């Protein structure tokens, strides 16, 4: 049994608009390693989900494995995520099957969003429409170089740098956890370093269920070593199929 209530984590707001929150110690070290053990036998080449089904694409070169939600530890982590979200997620609204992802050297996931352009139909026969209202990405193993999670359009650290005496340096509280991104030689956005147990949470959809393109993000190529993370996708229900 896992005592989810006893686990403590802290949060820091990265950006209010769009909403991005950094979570310190979302899982313990032991929880992270046990989640990997639970999914490790099922790793296969990663795919992306479209309305036409599941597709393997050249821009996503990692391996993925589903985690069975009924496993006590997985149920614990999903309960923790639900509690974190508060009334953003109704008790009747579920999570997608959680997923662990593994990256070896040079493996990556190019820029993408987690939401679907059109709401999807639940596969339970109810006809209900859903979408991924938010995302958690949890770093489960960090014995690697590079491999950051990069948000090019979340510019809070650029603003921090500009206000930090005009020096262009990050405020010290993010040192070792996040840094400024770069595109075509220009500082742009924010990238989060893999740190075991820490997580990034962001909101994908606005109050009307429309996707926020500012949350486009990438898993940058790993330099050396291995990175493993966990995707948690809460589902918001948006009516019933016509």
Sequence-distant (≥ 6) Cβ neighbours of residue 114 within 8 angstroms: 132, 135, 204, 215, 233
φ, ψ at 240 (rounded to 5°): -125, 145
Q: Which of 151, 113, 137 is nearest to 14 (CA)?
A: 151
pLDDT at 54: 63
| Mean pLDDT, the chain, whole residue set | 90
**How far is residue 163's CA from residue 155's CA, in Å, rounded to a whole number?**
13
Report the relative pairing of strands 53-55 and 222-225 from DSSP bridges: unpaired
Number of H-type helices and E-type strands within the chain: 3, 20
**How far is residue 170's CA from residue 193's CA, in Å, rounded to a whole number?**
14
Q: Which of 158, 188, 161 is nearest to 172 (CA)?
A: 161
Q: For the segment 187-220, what is each residue's pLDDT rounded down to a tens digit?
A: 889 999 999 999 999 999 998 899 999 999 999 9
Q: For the segment 119-158, what is each residue's pLDDT rounded down to a tens digit?
A: 999 988 889 999 999 999 999 999 999 999 999 999 765 5
pLDDT at 53: 60
Residue 58: count of CB within 10 angstroms of its CB: 6
pLDDT at 198: 98
Helix (H) / strand (E) element for 167: namely: none
**How far is residue 231's CA from residue 139's CA, in Å, rounded to a whole number?**
9
Phi-psi region of 184 (alpha: psi -120 to 50; beta: other; left: phi over 0): left
Pair 89, 236: CB distance under 8 Å: yes
**How far is residue 20's CA from residue 204's CA, in Å, rounded to a whole number?**
10
Q: Which single residue is written with the structure tokens 């030689």?
A: 185
- For range 76-85, the mean pLDDT: 96
Tell me the pLDDT band of 167, cut-offs 50, 70 and 90.
very low
- For range 5-22, the mean pLDDT: 92
φ, ψ at 215 (rounded to 5°): -90, 20
**How far is residue 181's CA from residue 106's CA, in Å, rounded to a whole number?**
18
Radius of gyration from C-alpha coordinates of the chain: 18
- Bridge partners, 240 (sequence order): 128
Q: Which of 208, 142, 215, 202 is nearest to 177 (CA)?
A: 142
- pTM of the predicted structure, to 2 decimals: 0.91
């Amino acid at each position: 049994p896992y005592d989810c209530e006893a686990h403590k984590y802290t949060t820091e707001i990265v950006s209010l608009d769009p909403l991005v929150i950094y979570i310190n110690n979302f899982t313990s070290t032991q929880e992270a390693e046990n989640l990997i053990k639970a999914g490790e036998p099922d790793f296969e080449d990663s795919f992306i989900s479209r309305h036409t089904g599941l597709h393997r694409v050249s821009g996503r070169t990692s391996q993925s494995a589903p985690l069975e939600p009924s496993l006590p530890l997985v149920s614990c982590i999903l309960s923790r995520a639900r509690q974190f979200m508060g009334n953003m997620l109704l008790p009747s609204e579920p999570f997608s099957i959680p997923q662990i992802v593994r990256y070896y050297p040079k493996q990556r996931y190019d820029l993408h969003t987690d939401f679907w352009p059109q709401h999807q139909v639940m596969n339970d026969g109810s006809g209900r429409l859903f979408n991924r209202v938010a995302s958690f990405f949890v770093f489960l193993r960090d014995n690697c170089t590079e491999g950051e999670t990069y948000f090019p359009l979340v510019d809070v650290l650029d603003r921090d740098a500009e206000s930090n005496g005009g020096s262009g340096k990050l405020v010290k509280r993010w040192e070792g956890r996040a840094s400024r991104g770069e595109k075509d030689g220009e500082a742009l956005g924010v990238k989060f370093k893999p740190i075991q147990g820490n997580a990034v949470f962001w909101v994908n959809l606005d109050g009307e269920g429309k996707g926020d393109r500012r949350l486009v993000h990438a898993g940058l190529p790993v330099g050396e070593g291995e990175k493993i993370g966990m995707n948690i996708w809460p589902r918001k229900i948006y009516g019933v199929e016509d």
